[in-house]
């Protein structure tokens, strides 16, 4: 059954019915993890796959699970269709084993960090089941089993919960991958949603062999020169809107060509827009190779950018979301986006 588009949070005191409902939800959650475990253990050929233009959470979670599944043992592939992959993440164990197509013999597809099936860029093999592992509250529930934890800070946390509940072993390579995913998707433990559970998860991964200092250094100080050449070009386009409460940045195809950068090297540039003192919402509009425009949205404290992205056909999290449009010029898109953001301010 599709998951709801928006996951509300309730702050009122719980009564007897609420506790009964909690029990039912817990039993349902438990059965989902058991069902996923049984599907994985009964499969013959697993493909682990994440979304197009993957970030560290998608890559780290997929590679972490791939390493776990190899020990079961299973015929397991890890797949991302995008080329090239972000080379600053080549330090992740197993990165060189990533394939760019799904083996048609796969009888189980395990998807990670993808809010909808179309973000994977593949066609589903005819007889394959899907286990959908994610933490985006806008997830469409496209799997045969959907393990979606919107309160979790990283897809790796959801994956690790499955691994622990299933009783599978986690070796050092998996711990490194899961930790890199967690570190990146929490903004080095600085984003909303970081709590004691997140730090307990990080502690567990360090106990399993992840190296905190080395992973942080590889994520922060392992950037290609092309990204640094792109950054000043992008920042020159930064503009303030709506009484300086909104900031926007443009990345054009010519900027990418001149700097030699790939789309993978644009992901965190939007954070520069949000980082300004007066700004609540930052956005970045990027040219895609097929003529589409990709929009990344970030908010600081109170605007729900997931709701905004959903109205344009996208999704994501409360403070980080995005969408892609194919039929609008940049100027028109920007006008409509600013009008929609203004409603939230």
Give per-residue pLDDT as tens, 44-101.
Answer: 999 999 999 999 999 999 999 999 999 998 899 999 999 889 999 999 999 999 999 9
Each residue's pLDDT tens digit, 3-44: 434 433 333 334 444 444 444 344 466 689 999 999 999 999
Give the chain's domain count. Answer: 2
Helix (H, G, I), strand (E, B) or coil at 220: helix
CATH number of the domain to which 213 belongs? 3.90.1640.10
Q: Count CB neighbours of 61 within 10 A.
A: 32
Q: How far apart are CA 254 and CA 260, in angstroms?
A: 10
Cβ atoms of residues 155 and 135 within 8 Å: yes
Domain final position from 177, 199, 220: 220
| pTM > 0.95: yes or no | no
User: What are the tokens at 273?
Assistant: 């827009």
Residue 139 lies in a domain: yes
**Contact yes or no for 344/244 (Cβ under 8 A):** no
Whether the Cβ atoms of residue 1 and residue 143 lie closer than 8 Å to each other: no
Range of the domain at 270: 225-344
Last residue of a domain, one of 220, 250, 272: 220
Task: Encode pLDDT of 207-255 as tens digits.
Answer: 999 999 999 999 999 999 999 999 999 999 999 999 999 999 999 999 9
User: Are 138 and 248 found together in one domain?
Assistant: no
CATH number at 249 reads: 3.10.310.30
């Amino acid at each position: 059954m599709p998951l709801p588009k928006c996951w509300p949070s309730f702050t009122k005191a719980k009564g007897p019915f609420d506790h009964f409902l909690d029990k039912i939800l817990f039993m349902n959650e438990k059965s989902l993890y058991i069902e996923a475990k049984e599907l994985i253990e009964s499969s013959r050929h697993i493909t682990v796959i994440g979304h197009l233009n993957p970030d560290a959470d998608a890559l780290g979670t997929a590679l972490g699970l791939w390493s776990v599944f190899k020990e079961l043992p299973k015929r397991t592939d890890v797949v991302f269709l995008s080329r090239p992959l972000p080379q600053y993440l080549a330090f992740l164990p197993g990165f060189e084993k990533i394939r760019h197509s799904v083996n048609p013999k796969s009888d189980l597809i395990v998807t990670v960090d993808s809010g909808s099936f179309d973000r994977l860029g593949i066609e589903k093999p005819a007889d394959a089941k899907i286990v959908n592992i994610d933490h985006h509250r806008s997830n469409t529930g496209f799997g045969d089993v959907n393990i979606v934890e919107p309160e979790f800070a990283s897809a790796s946390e959801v994956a690790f919960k499955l691994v622990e509940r299933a009783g599978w072993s986690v070796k050092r390579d998996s711990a490194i991958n899961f930790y890199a995913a967690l570190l990146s998707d929490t903004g080095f433990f600085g984003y909303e949603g970081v709590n004691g559970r997140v730090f307990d998860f990080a502690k567990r991964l360090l106990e399993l062999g992840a190296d905190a200092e080395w992973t942080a250094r590889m994520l922060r100080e392992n950037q290609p020169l092309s990204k640094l050449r792109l950054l000043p070009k992008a920042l020159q386009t930064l503009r303030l809107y709506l009484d300086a409460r909104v900031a926007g940045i443009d990345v054009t195809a010519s900027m990418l060509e001149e700097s030699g950068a790939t789309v993978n090297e644009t992901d965190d540039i939007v954070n520069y827009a949000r980082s300004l003192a007066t700004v609540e919402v930052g956005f970045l509009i990027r040219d895609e190779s097929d003529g589409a425009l990709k929009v990344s949205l970030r908010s600081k404290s109170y605007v729900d950018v997931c709701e905004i992205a959903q109205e344009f056909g996208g999704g994501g999290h409360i403070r980080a979301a995005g969408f892609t449009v194919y039929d609008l010029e940049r100027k028109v898109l920007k006008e409509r986006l600013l009008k929609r953001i203004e409603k939230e301010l």
